[in-house]
């Protein structure tokens, strides 16, 4: 464990202490639900799901959504899996398989089963990582779960190492990324319960390229230090957003300024995506989506046509 990692663990510990004293997240059902939606949207977006935050929210709320059936099924499954978190045992392989069966039900043939064939992770046509041969998967997962339960390392370190080793083994034919992130949250929630509703996946999505770079760097070096450091930075920065929000006045000024920027950009090009708007303005996609939602609700912009082929009209 490097000095930087030690310092990150200390800093995160201090931030969790502040949150425990200040926040009432577990008792706030609206905030919990909003964060759960953000977590699901971000985790599935990493896996190329095309639905927006608003569409994900509508699917979860049982509303009709026009979108690829598989993407809709992924949201339904992920919501059911995340809702199960409080009843899952992080040290139980049986629960892991149960979670995978729910997460990947009607999406893959081997939902709830370790894969029976080889699998690789590709970037285009380039093989980045070849998963463990299938005949060794059950034994390696058993060893990993035994280590997780018996290790005396801090939960922050254990959760990150587990996440990396799980992705390295790649035990399933599909869904390894979303299950790995789910289990990371589950492990952390046994340390501090508010991690159940903390949308760490959102920052992971925003830093997706660096997420894969960290995984690949760990693979190349043969140990998980780089990935552990990356994940601890994501956790710390997510907590910082919660602990040190902007002041009410500066937040309002910034929001109104960014709102006007969105209106101006959409008046010039109504086909701009949330990602493009975020890049132009210098804020996160999440912030853009929230601004667009409010502008639509207030009648300042109107959606013309379908989600993919349509455009925004400034009123």
Question: For residue 253, what pLDDT is reported?
Answer: 52
- CB neighbours of 172 closer than 8 A, spacing ≥ 6? 100, 104, 108, 110, 113, 114, 115, 179
- Listed in order, the ranges of the chain carrying CATH 1.10.3290.10 are 3-243
Higher-pLDDT residue of 67 and 264 is 67
pLDDT value of position 306:
81
Its sign, for the CA torsion 127, 130, 131, 134, is positive
Strand, helix or coil at 305? coil
Select the more confidently predicted residue: 287 or 225.
225
124: left (phi over 0), alpha (psi -120 to 50) or beta: left
| Residue with more model confidence, 144 or 244 | 144
- d(C-alpha 101, C-alpha 144), whole Å: 20
Q: What distance in Å separates the CA atoms of residue 118 and residue 173, rounded to the nearest whole number?
A: 8
Global pTM value: 0.77
What is the pLDDT, as a whole number, of residue 210? 86
For the chain, give the number of residues: 315
pLDDT tens, 76-99?
Answer: 999 999 999 999 999 999 999 999
Residues forming CATH 1.10.10.10 domain(s) in the chain: 248-314
pLDDT(235) > 70: yes
Mean pLDDT in residue range 205-227: 89
| Closest alpha carbon to 85 in 165, 233, 201, 167 | 201
DSSP string computed for 39-54? HHHHHHHHTT----HH
Work out the average pLDDT over 241-251: 61
SS3 state at 32: helix
| Residue 257 CB partners (closer than 8 Å, separation 6+) | none
Average pLDDT, the chain: 89
Fold of 248-314: Arc Repressor Mutant, subunit A (1.10.10)
C-alpha to C-alpha distance for 215 and 250, rounded to whole angstroms: 37
Q: At residue 23, does pLDDT exceed 70?
A: no
What's the rounded mean pLDDT across residues 270-297? 86
Provide mean pLDDT across the span 256-277.
83
Q: What CATH superfamily is the domain 3-243?
A: Fido-like domain (1.10.3290.10)
User: Distance between CA 186 and CA 89 in Å, rounded?
Assistant: 8
Cβ–Cβ < 8 Å for 42, 202: yes
- The predicted model gives 281-298 an average pLDDT of 85
Averaged pLDDT for residues 135-161: 98
Poorest-pLDDT segment among 92-101, 163-172, 233-242: 233-242
pLDDT band, very low/low/confident/very high, at 58 (cuts 50, 70, 90): very high
Q: How confident is the model at residue 262 (pLDDT cuts 50, 70, 90)?
A: confident
pLDDT of 26 higher than 60: no
Q: In this model, does residue 40 exceed pLDDT 50?
A: yes
Region of 253 (left: φ > 0; alpha: ψ -120 to 50; beta: rest) is: alpha
Q: Which residue has the tokens 């925004």?
A: 312
Give the model's pLDDT for residue 250.
47
User: 304 pairs with which residues across the strands?
Assistant: 311
Q: What is the pLDDT of residue 249?
A: 47
């Amino acid at each position: 464990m490097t000095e930087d990692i030690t310092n990150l663990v200390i800093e995160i510990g201090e931030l969790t202490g502040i949150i425990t004293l200040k926040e009432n997240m577990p008792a706030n059902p609206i905030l919990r639900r909003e964060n759960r939606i953000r977590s699901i949207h971000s985790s599935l977006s990493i896996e190329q799901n095309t639905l927006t935050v608003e569409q994900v929210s509508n699917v979860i709320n049982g509303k009709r959504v026009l979108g690829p059936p598989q993407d809709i099924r992924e949201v339904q499954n992920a919501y059911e899996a995340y809702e199960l978190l409080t009843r899952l045992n992080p040290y139980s392989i049986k629960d892991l398989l149960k979670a995978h069966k729910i997460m990947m039900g009607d999406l893959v043939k081997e939902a709830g089963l370790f894969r029976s064939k080889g699998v690789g992770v590709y970037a285009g046509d380039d093989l980045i990582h070849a998963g463990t041969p299938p005949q060794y998967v059950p034994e390696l997962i058993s060893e990993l779960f035994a280590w997780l339960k018996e290790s005396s390392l801090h939960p922050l370190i254990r959760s990150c190492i587990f996440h990396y080793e799980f992705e390295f083994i790649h035990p399933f034919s599909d869904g390894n990324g979303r299950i790995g992130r789910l289990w990371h949250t589950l492990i952390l929630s046994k340390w501090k319960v508010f991690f159940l509703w903390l949308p760490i996946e959102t920052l992971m999505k925003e830093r997706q390229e660096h997420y894969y770079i960290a995984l690949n760097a760990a693979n190349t070096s043969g140990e998980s230090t780089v990935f552990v450091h990356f994940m601890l930075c994501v956790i710390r920065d997510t907590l910082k957003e919660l602990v040190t929000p902007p002041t009410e006045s500066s937040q309002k000024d910034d929001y109104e300024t960014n709102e006007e920027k969105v209106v101006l950009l959409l008046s010039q090009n109504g086909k701009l995506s949330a990602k493009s708007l975020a890049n132009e303005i210098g804020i996160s996609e999440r912030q853009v989506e929230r601004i667009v939602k409010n502008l639509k609700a207030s009648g300042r912009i109107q959606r013309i046509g379908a989600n993919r082929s349509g455009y925004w009209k400034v009123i």
